[in-house]
Amino acid sequence: MTEQILNMNQITKTYYMGEEEQVVLNQINLTIHKGDFVAVLGPSGSGKSTLMNIIGCLDSPTSGSYILSDQKVDELDEVELAAIRNKEVGFVFQQFQLLPRLSAIQNVELPLVYAKLPEKERKQKARDMLIRVGLGEKLHNRPNQLSGGQQQRVAIARAMVTEPTILLADEPTGALDQKTGQQIMELFHELHEEGKTIIMITHDVEIAKNASRIVRILDGKLQEEHVHV
């Protein structure tokens, strides 16, 4: 059996609009093993963004237990949550979230700056990761000098440079045309084959089919799971 790295048990998230209770996540159970490539598939308003925020330790559940890399996330304080975010989770966003004044290599270095790595070491790691995603010739280009697909590759390099336990991607092809999106999916496949654990949030059935396992979410409930053979 492969190592279990994420376990959610009866995760519920409730918001209050005045007196009215809104249940956004309803008793979610989810287990992810090392090396999984999982797509969380659901339409807008299904609860998938809230689930992503809880997986990424950006939000806390109202009830239920969440264990990530043997740590009980629901019991951590803000400082501990920030530490686990930096160490365990690499984020890839739909709109890339690159800093426009920084070069590609400086953007990729940022998490290592926060991790207080020495400058020489972090520059080498950032350079190696940009070469890994096919951008060895673009180290010193700023985001506005890169195509959308290249910017997303920089974002993936930035997410991977800390060697996180999970790569968490939110609609990673949402801002890209179909051809470029498929190239990004090919990069995810390569990373998965190297043993990376990937959780991808998407509303697009075709994009979800790139994953080896699809989990559907609708009205705050996980509806079904299915595994590609």
Q: Would you say 155 and 90 are in contact if contact means Cβ atoms under 8 Å apart?
A: no
- Checking if the pLDDT of 95 tops 70, the result is yes
- Checking if the pLDDT of 47 tops 80, the result is yes
- Checking if the pLDDT of 74 tops 90, the result is no
Decide: pTM greater than 0.75. Answer: yes
Counting the structural domains of the chain, the total is 1
- Checking if the pLDDT of 226 tops 80, the result is no
| 132-179 per-position pLDDT tens digit | 999 999 999 999 999 999 999 999 999 999 999 999 999 998 888 889
CATH code for the domain of 94: 3.40.50.300
- What pLDDT is attached to residue 154? 94
Sheet architecture: strand order including 4-17: 20-33, 4-17, 63-68, 71-72
- What pLDDT is attached to residue 1? 60
Confidence bin at 225 (pLDDT 50/70/90): low
φ, ψ (nearest 5 deg) of residue 32: -125, 135
Domain range spanning residue 64?
Answer: 4-227
